[in-house]
Amino acid sequence: GESVGLHLPTLSVQEGDNSIINCAYSNSASDYFIWYKQESGKGPQFIIDIRSNMDKRQGQRVTVLLNKTVKHLSLQIAATQPGDSAVYFCAEISRSTGNQFYFGTGTSLTVIP
Amino acid sequence: KAGVTQTPRYLIKTRGQQVTLSCSPISGHRSVSWYQQTPGQGLQFLFEYFSETQRNKGNFPGRFSGRQFSNSRSEMNVSTLELGDSALYLCASSLEASGAVGYEFFGPGTRLTVL
């Protein structure tokens, strides 16, 4: 079955620095990837998505990169702020599994003021 | 527009009891999914309902069941609770037309503790 994993369970960065959170996936047939942010006591919140036919997508202060060759996904956060402290998940979705979402265990990002 | 709501937010039960959790999706969303979140396993898919029909099911025992009503509200039930069922149960809704992938918007979750 599919597996979505994260390289690092925790990440600490200085406020103002850029953050990079990584994610590996195993299903080469996945057509859609999403990054979520989960703050303490809340449910996951959509950040940005990318389709499998894209390599890069930018949002406000965030960029997602997709490398299908090595089945790797990354989330870059520019000028990290204390409010960015949270757990970040990647999710992959495959039409072959009926659009089921598969999530990694998450990376905990701590921003040091 | 109101987000996904879940009730109750916190619940304490003892082993052997059963529990019912409720989820109200975002207005207009017809797909509702349920997830179990634990520190060790992360988010694990339980099941998905679309137009009152279970469309997908994860690898959970039959003690976990759910249903969806005509107004898209959904409930999940866990019978004969075990200690390992202690988790955050998340509901997500999406505006998904047939065959299309929609974003999943999550509720705040129900924290279930089994003693």
Contacts of range A44-49, beta carbons closer than 8 Å, 24 or more positions apart = A44/A89, A44/B43, A44/B90, A44/B92, A44/B106, A45/B106, A46/B103, A46/B104, A46/B105, A47/A75, A47/A88, A48/A75, A49/B103
Using a CB–CB cutoff of 8 Å, tell me whether B43 touches chain A. Answer: yes
Q: What is the pLDDT of residues A18-38, one digit of tens each?
A: 999 999 988 888 888 999 999
* Nearest CB to A93 within list B99, B101, B107: B101
Least Cα distance to B41 among A33, A25, A39, A5 occurs for A5
* Nearest CB to A98 within list B42, B56, B103: B56
Q: What is the pLDDT of residues B15-57, one digit of tens each?
A: 999 999 999 999 989 899 999 998 777 788 899 999 999 988 8
Determine the distance in angstroms separating the CA of A3 from the nearest CA of chain B, rounded to an integer: 11
List of chain A residues whose C-beta atoms are within 8 Å of the C-beta of residue B35: 103
Using a CB–CB cutoff of 8 Å, tell me whether A2 touches chain B. Answer: no
> What is residue A7's predicted lDDT score, i.e. its pLDDT?
42
Determine the distance in angstroms separating the CA of B33 from the nearest CA of chain A, rounded to an integer: 9
Residue A1 pLDDT more than 80?
Answer: no
Structure tokens at A6: 């994260």
- In sequence order, the 6+-apart residues with CB closer than 8 A to the CB of B92 are A43, A44, A101, B4, B32, B33, B34, B35, B104, B105, B106, B107
- Three-state SS sequence of B2-40: CCCEEECCEEEECCCCCEEEEEECCCCCCEEEEEEEECC
CB–CB contact A44 B4 (8 Å)? no
> What is residue A30's predicted lDDT score, i.e. its pLDDT?
87
**CA B55 – CA B37 distance, rounded (Å):** 21
CB–CB contact B90 A44 (8 Å)? yes
CB B1 within 8 A of CB B102: no
Using a CB–CB cutoff of 8 Å, tell me whether B106 touches chain A. Answer: yes
Using a CB–CB cutoff of 8 Å, tell me whether A45 touches chain B. Answer: yes
**CA A105 – CA B104 distance, rounded (Å):** 17
